[in-house]
């Protein structure tokens, strides 16, 4: 999922549009990239921060619930599996193993109420934006929000490519 060149045109366009608007709503591309770099600097993983927030010099991201290591590990395992399969459809419930499927459903229930709010530290820079973990959350279909994956699991290079993307 974190290889921008392997995304379909619709996903590339969506990521470009959303990240461009997101950057504008927090004061510019450099502010958004600085926040992503601040997120990458957090160890062990930014989602596991006890105070549920990360700040860069100009931007801050907050969320309403700590995410535990087992959930982060499961997301990373799912992304690795999809990365290797090079699938265009990211329905994470397409897993054949029933134990893994049950873990995915439990993870989805735990993370469904999670909401991320990104705001500039200076209100004059923009109004900010928000997003959730899942794009689709139904009985037989669970799909990650590409923005969530891009900000928390992909490299800043992925984000730069998405922002610079020009449709064919």
> Rounded distance, CA 66 to CA 123, Å?
26
Give the count of alpha carbons within 13 A of 130, CB side only: 9
| pLDDT score, position 4 | 84
Kindly report, residue by residue over 81-104, the tens digit of the pLDDT.
776 555 555 788 877 788 888 999
**Per-position DSSP letters for 50-76, written without gaps between them:** TTSEEE-SSEEEEESSPPPHHHHHHHH
DSSP 132: E
What are the residues facing 132 on neighbouring strands?
Answer: 115
Residues 6+ apart with CB under 8 A from 142: 91, 92, 93, 104, 105, 108, 134, 136
> Would you state the pLDDT for residue 85?
53
Domain ranges, ordered by start, for the chain: 9-162
d(CA 148, CA 133): 6
**How many other CB atoms sit within 10 Å of the CB of residue 148?**
19
pLDDT along the chain (168 residues), means of 10: 82 89 93 93 92 94 95 91 62 81 92 96 93 89 89 89 85
Q: Are 58 and 27 in contact (CB under 8 A)?
A: yes
> Cβ contacts of residue 45 below 8 Å, gap of 6+?
69, 72, 152
Checking DSSP bridges between strand 134-137 and strand 53-55, what pairing results, if any? unpaired
Query: Would you state the pLDDT for residue 9?
Result: 87
> Distance between CA atoms of 38 and 62, rounded to whole angstroms?
13
Q: How many residues does the chain have?
A: 168
């Amino acid at each position: 999922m974190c290889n921008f060149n392997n995304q379909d045109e619709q996903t590339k366009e969506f990521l470009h549009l959303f990240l461009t608007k997101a950057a504008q709503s927090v004061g510019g591309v450099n502010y958004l990239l600085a926040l992503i770099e601040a997120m990458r600097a957090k160890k062990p993983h930014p989602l596991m921060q006890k105070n549920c927030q990360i700040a860069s010099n100009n931007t801050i991201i907050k969320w309403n619930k700590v995410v535990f290591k087992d959930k982060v590990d499961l997301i990373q395992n799912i992304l690795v599996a999809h990365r290797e399969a090079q699938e265009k459809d990211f329905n994470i419930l397409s897993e054949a193993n029933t134990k893994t499927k049950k873990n995915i459903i439990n993870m989805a229930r735990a993370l469904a109420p999670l909401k991320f709010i990104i705001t500039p530290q200076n209100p004059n820079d923009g109004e900010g934006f928000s997003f959730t973990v899942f794009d689709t959350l139904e009985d037989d279909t669970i799909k990650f929000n590409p923005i969530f994956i891009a900000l928390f699991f992909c490299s800043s290079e992925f984000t730069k490519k998405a922002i610079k993307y020009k449709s064919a």
